[in-house]
Amino acid sequence: MARKLLLDKINIEHIRLYDVYRQRGGYTAVEKALKSMSPDQVTEEVKRSGLRGRGGAGFPTGMKWGFLAKPEGVPRYLVCNADESEPGTFKDRYLMEFIPHLLIEGLIVSSYAIGSNRTYIYIRGEFAWIIDILEQAIAEAKNNGWLGKNILGSGFDCEVYVHRGAGAYICGEETALIESLEGKRGYPRIKPPFPAVKGLWDCPTVVNNVETLAAIVPIINNGGEEYAKIGIGKSTGTKLVSACGNIKKPGVYEIEMNISVEEFIYNDEYCGGIANGRRLKACVPGGSSVPILPANLLLKTAKGETRMMTYESLSDGGFQTGSMMGSGGFIVLDEDQCVVRNTLTFARFYRHESCGQCSPCREGTGWMERILHNIEYGKGKMSDIDLLWDIQSKIEGNTICPLGDAAAWPVAAAIRHFRDEFEWHVTNPDDALRRNYGLGNYAEPLQVMHSA
């Protein structure tokens, strides 16, 4: 069995409640940090752990905290990004719902490191029942002296507030989140300035993902060095992966970042293989925003190496032949699934969620959706495929926030790797309405190019 650092106690009855959580060793990280470490020492420990942000971009957390501006007399804020709305990603929800005190504990330690006396959890509004769970956990923590004034006699004050979103994916983007938290429309800000300098109410702010902040607890308990021993290279520690699609055992898994993609899909400890005896066709390994890969490129890199569940290995080959760890939403497609339809579904999502501030994203996402709709419903033309390619390439990189890129990448990757299937829809419009393209040669071993 793989080591678990976040979900090790998840099956203990009533672990959601403070008393049980505390009896099982909860809040020792707060004790350790506040009683025996300075805020800078906490940050150093996080740097040593090699922890990378779990919200999507994978930016080293310790370094991010180190960048925070610290002008005299200006408050600093920590904001926990619990807006989790990426199609395919549902790991934060699981963590918050079943072991909320782990997040609260991580938040207190992180707030101490950053110097945030008022810390916010910005949570996706649809998670209505989890908001209640978190508020209960916060109240319990406060009643037991872990929040409030002068915590554990350390002189450190901290309050945690839950703020609920109102149903916009874009509010997961950190600057849109900050705007929304300030009570404005959730429009991403034009950067610079970055939140580390001017964030919430123009004060220095750190925005971190739920899982990132929860991981601070084992890092402080066991030391950053211990944490860094798990995993490969710069992918240290454990990672929550929410697996869904055509697998036998969908769910949230905590993995050590040293297993292969193949093992993750086929091992009974994880996904347990493809459901109903079908074969693997494709996979979106990191949530809807990351490039889709055909089975052959998913299991092996273009160099013929085994692809691992790490940041580096998943992105090996760049966008030409690789993908990304993203937010850990692992979506598996079997041979009966249609890649065009899948791409259309994603495109519809991004069109709906574009905030509409910048023209390439506002207009381009809708255009792509319409073309994909035509292709999927047997009304596409060959030239539409090139047009789609051109549109996505004109959105990518030309927008205010990364949602534009996130809308472009899935379309680009689908065309790059599954062009046959798109063309088949155009040349066989009647078939396309009745059946799917099938597996094609997407699982066949690739010829490995050896460089001279």
Partner 1 sequence: MAEEKKIFKVTIDNITIEVEPGTTILQAARRIGGDVVPPAMCYYSKLKGSGGKCRTCLVRVAAGSTADPRPMPKLVASCRTNVMDGMVVESMTNNTVLEARKAVVEFLLINHPLDCPVCDQAGECDLQDLSYDHGRESTRYEFERRTFERHDLGPYIQLHMTRCILCFRCVFAADQLTNKRAHGILDRGDHSEIATYIEKSLDNDFIGNVIDVCPVGALTDRTFRFKNRVWFAKPVEADRSCTKCSGKVRLWMRSDR
Ligand X SMILES: Cc1cc2nc3c(=O)[nH]c(=O)nc-3n(C[C@H](O)[C@H](O)[C@H](O)COP(=O)(O)O)c2cc1C
Q: Which spans of this chain sit near ligand SF4 (rule: CB under 6 A)?
A: 170, 188, 354-358, 361-362, 399-401, 403-404
- In the range 33-62, which residues lie near ligand X by CB under 6 A? 53-57, 59
Rounded Cα distance, 412 and 174, in Å: 25
Please select the residue that binds ligand X; options are 403, 407, 411, 439, rule is CB under 6 A.
Answer: 403
Given the complex with partner 1, which of 273 and 402 has the nearer CB atom? 402
168 binds partner 1 (CB under 8 A): yes
Q: Check residue 185 for interaction with partner 1 (CB under 8 A).
A: yes
Task: Give the distance, in angstroms, between the CA of residue 68 and the centroid of all CA atoms in the same chain.
Answer: 22
372 φ/ψ angles, rounded to the nearest 5 degrees: -60, -40
* Residue 244, strand partner residues: 331
> Binding segment for partner 1 among 62-70, 220-228, 258-266, 354-362 (CB under 8 A)?
354-362
Could you write out the DSSP letters of every residue in 16-44? TSHHHHHHTTTTHHHHHHHHH--HHHHHH
Residue of 3, 303, 394, 435 that binds partner 1 (CB under 8 A): 394
Residue 161 sits in the site that holds ligand X (CB under 6 A): no
Instruction: Output the smallest distance, CB 376 to partner 1, in A.
Output: 15
Outline where DSSP puts E strands in 167-292.
205-209, 231-232, 235-236, 238-245, 251-256, 280-284
- Grouping H, G, I as helix, E, B as strand and the rest as coil, residue 202 is helix
Report d(CA 152, CA 35) in Å as an integer. 8
Question: Residue 326 interacts with ligand X (CB under 6 A)?
Answer: no
HSE toward the beta carbon, residue 283, CA cutoff 13 A? 35
Q: Is 362 in the site for partner 1 (CB under 8 A)?
A: yes
Restricted to residues 194-213, the positions that interact with ligand X (CB under 6 A) are 207-209, 212
> Residue 238, SS3?
strand
CA dihedral 312, 197, 399, 58 (to 10 degrees): 10
Q: Which of residues 334-353 bind partner 1 (CB under 8 A)?
A: 351-353
Q: Do 158 and 116 contact (CB within 8 A), yes or no?
A: yes
Least separation, in Å, of the C-beta of 194 and ligand SF4? Answer: 15
Site string for ligand X, 79-118 (x = CB under 6 A): --x-xxxx--------------------------------
The interface partner of residue 366, options being ligand X, ligand SF4, partner 1, none and the CB cut-off 5 to 8 Å by kind, is: partner 1
Q: Which of 66, 115, 125, 366 binds partner 1 (CB under 8 A)?
A: 366
CA distances from 87 to 112, 149, 289 (A): 33, 39, 8
Give me the residues that bind ligand X (CB under 6 A), please: 53-57, 59, 64, 81, 83-86, 169-170, 172-174, 207-209, 212, 401-403, 406
Residues that bind partner 1 (CB under 8 A): 168, 170, 185, 190, 351-360, 362-367, 370, 387, 394, 397-400
